[in-house]
Structure 1
Amino acid sequence: MHLQFIGIDPDTGKNGSPTAWVDLESADIVIQSYTADDETRAQCVENTAAGHAKGVPDHETVIRIPARLVPILREACDAAERAQL
């Protein structure tokens, strides 16, 4: 696995922060962000896509990505597409 750093939350301090990388081998986007609170997780469980079981599987989690990270995620999406070529 080779991760390409894309960007970090521009409003971050020096202790942890939402960050985006792209795995150049799989073109997956890798995100570090805030753990969603219980209310957000409950809403995700209630608003599950039709045909899917309710709940968050043990191998998945719900994260919250701040809106200010959107431009960095766009860049990550572009990098992921380039990695697939």
Structure 2
Amino acid sequence: MALLFIGIDPNTGGGNCPAVWVDQPEGAGAEPELVLQGWLADAAMLERCAQDSPRPDTEAIIRIPARMVKQIREACDVVERSQL
């Protein structure tokens, strides 16, 4: 696994905050993935999200501040470039 750190929430002091990475696994057929650290969603948000997409035990609903669009966009660009 080659985990590429993209960035953290720009409005934090540098630790324990939402963050974005790209996992670039090696091997045939392996596809890159975005890895996100965020705040846990509360019960009301979990219930609302389940109306659109029920969540299995192997998944989580997290919240990422909109101010992190730049980091998420950069991570998406990394993934797209790796698939060319």
2:10 is matched with 10
Please tell me whether residue 19 in structure 1 is matched to residue 24 in structure 2: no
TM-score, normalised to structure 1, is: 0.84
Tell me which residue corresponds to 1:74: 73
- 1:35-76 deviation digits (Å, cap 9, x = unpaired): 11111101001233xxxxxx3101111111110111110000
Secondary structure of residue in 2 paired with 1:30? strand
Native 8 Å contact 2:19 2:37 kept in 1? yes
Gaps of 5+ in 1: 49-54
Q: Work out the CA distance in 1 between the residues paired with 2:52 and 2:36.
A: 22
Q: So what's the TM-score if we normalise by structure 2?
A: 0.85
Aligned partner (choices 19, 34, 41) of residue 29 of structure 1: 34
User: How big is the shift at 1:15?
Assistant: 3.9
- Between the two proteins, what is the percent identity of the paired residues? 48
Gapped regions of structure 2 (runs ≥ 5): 26-30
Letter in 2 for 1:76: A
Stretches (4+) displaced over 4 A: none
Instruction: State the alpha-carbon separation in 1 of the partners of residues 14 and 76 from structure 2.
Output: 25
* 1:20-47 CA distance string (max 9 Å, x none): 0111223111111111111110100123
Q: Which amino acid aligns with 2:5?
A: F
Where do 1:50-61 residues align within 5 Å? 55-61=54-60
How far is the alpha carbon of 1:14 from its aligned partner?
Answer: 4.1
